[in-house]
């Protein structure tokens, strides 16, 4: 217990210093946290050796991020976007998979490894996209609604892919084909009903006591997230559903603003763990395929999304911005890589290549978005919007 306290204390102190330096240098704070993980993690100076627990703490931040994202989106508004977003997401996923599959085959990987690894690359980063989305202007709220719709569809596809990997390894595909969509639908119905007939009354009874309201809110978020995980979905999907159900409450905006600092605190641990997992020795060995795959993702993904949204009638500026925001690989790919390796579908080297490439795209993409689009972390006054 004492070692855990010391580790957390070291991380928080270093994060404070890095945040200060990032502010002075007008650099994205996310990058500062990633660099901090590289420097003091097990592959750097080794001040923090055990990253697993820190990564688990960071998952609370991801859960809160998706929960608050759901709380600012009314369900009726979001569901209207799903039809268009589904077509765009499926079209992009297909094009990206084919392109990356061909590229990996050209790089000398086997047919099976190319097929699975390219699937790990087709998703955009939920945490990075949502973290860099402002919510204050009407334009950005619409942008956020479309991004969230796409990300939720991608998250469900990613969860489905994970279930497929595990199910195929266990010789049972029933859950992948039928049970998963049904579970998601039942969780939505259950959450909406429980919020309306139970949680809303509880909040009304203690609406003058802020501490009790926040505890109810956090209990609701983590409870639905844990339930989602238990039935085969993910914490992230469960958190978003919990937030979406609570978005109908008149207290949703007040609760969202109050929980933002807590969300940002836990997210710091997530980005630290992401940087701490980066093995610098492997970067030297895999830098050519990493740079090739990462560059192709960073260049082609925004372009593909831009074309698809233009075909759906969106304006050019909107299509370009949303392409930039979705133009990286996803943290879900990190989980997929570990799952594929444990299921003996890919070699350890390929799993590590996937992880390093994803971190590379997230790192570069965050710089691109912060320098080109309005974000809460903007390095210029005209681009800084919370």
The domain ranges of the chain are: 2-383
Residue 98 has a pLDDT of 94
Q: Is 199 in contact with 207 (CB distance < 8 Å)?
A: no
Q: Is 55 in contact with 42 (CB distance < 8 Å)?
A: no
Q: Which structure tokens are listed for 248?
A: 């109908």
Residue 176 has a pLDDT of 53
For 20-42, give one letter per residue: b (16+ CB within 10 A) or e: eebeeeebbbbbbbbbbbbbbbe
Q: For residue 106, give every residue at least 6 positions away whose Cβ sits within 8 Å of its Cβ, in sequence order, or none.
A: none
Residue 159: pLDDT above 80? no
Residue 378 has a pLDDT of 59
Mean pLDDT in residue range 248-271: 86
Q: Which structure tokens are listed for 349?
A: 């080297």
Residue 1: pLDDT above 50? yes
**Rounded Cα–Cα distance for residues 72 and 62 (Å):** 16
Look at phi and psi of residue 26 and say left if phi exceeds 0, alpha if psi is from -120 to 50, else beta. Answer: left
For 45-72, give one letter per residue: b (16+ CB within 10 A) or e: eeebeebeebbebbbbbbbbbbbbbbbb
Residue 342 has a pLDDT of 72
Q: Is 42 in contact with 49 (CB distance < 8 Å)?
A: yes
Residue 382 has a pLDDT of 60
Instruction: Name beta bridge partners: 375.
Output: 384
Residue with token string 């688990």: 56
**Rounded Cα–Cα distance for residues 341 and 97 (Å):** 19
Task: Report the topology of domain 2-383.
Answer: Na+/H+ antiporter like fold (1.20.1530)
Tell me the pLDDT of the chain averaged across its residues: 82
Q: How much of the chain exceeds pLDDT 90, in percent?
A: 21
Q: What are phi and psi of 356, to 5 degrees?
A: -65, -40
H/E element, 56: helix 52-71
| DSSP 8-state class, residue 199 | I
Residue 75 has a pLDDT of 66
Q: Which structure tokens are listed for 316?
A: 């050019």
- For 85-144, the pLDDT digits (tens) are 888 999 999 999 999 999 999 988 889 889 988 999 999 988 788 878 876 654 456 787
Residue 171 has a pLDDT of 43
- For 164-215, the pLDDT digits (tens) are 675 555 445 555 556 767 888 889 899 999 988 888 888 888 878 888 889 9
**Rounded Cα–Cα distance for residues 243 and 210 (Å):** 18
Residue 139 has a pLDDT of 46
Name the more confident of 280 and 20. Answer: 20
Instruction: Name beta bridge partners: 384.
Output: 375
**Rounded Cα–Cα distance for residues 132 and 378 (Å):** 9
Mean pLDDT in residue range 216-223: 93
- Which of 221-225, 296-300, 351-355 has the weakest average pLDDT? 351-355
Residue 371: pLDDT above 70? yes
Q: What is the DSSP string of 109-142?
A: --HHHHHHHHHHTSS--HHHHHHT---SSHHHHH
Between CA 355 and CA 363, with CA 358 as vertex, the angle to 5 degrees is 125
Residue 380 has a pLDDT of 60
Q: How much of the chain exceeds pLDDT 70, in percent?
A: 87
Question: At 2, is the pLDDT very low, low, confident or very high (cuts 50, 70, 90)?
Answer: low
Q: Which structure tokens are listed for 74?
A: 């009314």
3-state secondary structure of 73: coil
- For 22-79, the pLDDT digits (tens) are 877 767 677 788 889 989 988 888 888 888 888 888 889 888 887 887 787 666 666 7
Residue 11 has a pLDDT of 93
């Amino acid at each position: 217990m004492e070692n855990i306290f010391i580790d957390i204390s070291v991380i928080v102190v270093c994060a404070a210093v890095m945040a200060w330096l990032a502010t002075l240098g007008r650099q994205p704070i996310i990058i500062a946290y990633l660099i901090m993980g590289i420097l003091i993690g097990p592959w750097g100076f080794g001040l923090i050796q055990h990253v697993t627990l820190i990564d688990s703490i960071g998952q609370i931040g991801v859960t809160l991020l998706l929960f608050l994202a759901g709380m600012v989106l009314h369900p009726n508004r979001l569901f209207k976007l799903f039809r268009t977003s589904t077509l765009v997401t499926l079209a992009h996923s297909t094009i990206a998979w084919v392109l990356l599959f061909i590229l990996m085959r050209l790089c000398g990987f086997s047919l099976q490894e190319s097929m699975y690894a390219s699937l790990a690359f087709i998703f955009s980063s939920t945490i990075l996209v949502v973290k860099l989305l402002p919510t204050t202007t009407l334009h950005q709220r619409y942008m956020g609604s479309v991004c969230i719709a796409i990300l939720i569809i991608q998250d469900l596809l990613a969860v489905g892919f994970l279930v497929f990997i595990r199910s195929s390894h266990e010789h049972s595909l029933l859950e992948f084909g039928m049970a998963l969509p049904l579970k998601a639908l039942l969780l939505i119905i259950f959450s909406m009903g429980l919020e309306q007939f139970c949680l809303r009354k509880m909040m009304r009874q203690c609406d003058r006591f802020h501490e009790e309201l926040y505890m109810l809110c956090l209990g609701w978020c983590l409870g639905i997230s844990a339930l989602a995980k238990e039935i085969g979905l993910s914490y992230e999907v469960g958190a978003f559903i919990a937030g979406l159900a609570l978005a109908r409450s008149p207290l949703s905006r007040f609760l969202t603003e109050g929980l933002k600092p807590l969300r940002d605190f836990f997210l710091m641990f997530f980005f630290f763990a992401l940087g701490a997992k980066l093995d610098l020795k492997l970067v030297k060995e895999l830098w050519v395929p990493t740079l090739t795959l990462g560059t192709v993702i960073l260049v082609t993904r925004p372009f593909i999304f831009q074309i698809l949204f233009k075909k759906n009638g969106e304006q050019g500026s909107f299509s370009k911005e949303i392409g930039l925001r979705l133009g990286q690989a996803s943290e879900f790919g990190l989980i997929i890589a570990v799952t594929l390796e444990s299921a003996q579908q890919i070699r350890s080297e390929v799993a590590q290549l996937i992880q390093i490439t994803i971190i590379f795209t997230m790192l570069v993409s965050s710089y691109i978005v912060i320098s080109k689009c309005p974000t809460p972390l903007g390095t210029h006054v005209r681009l800084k919007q919370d």
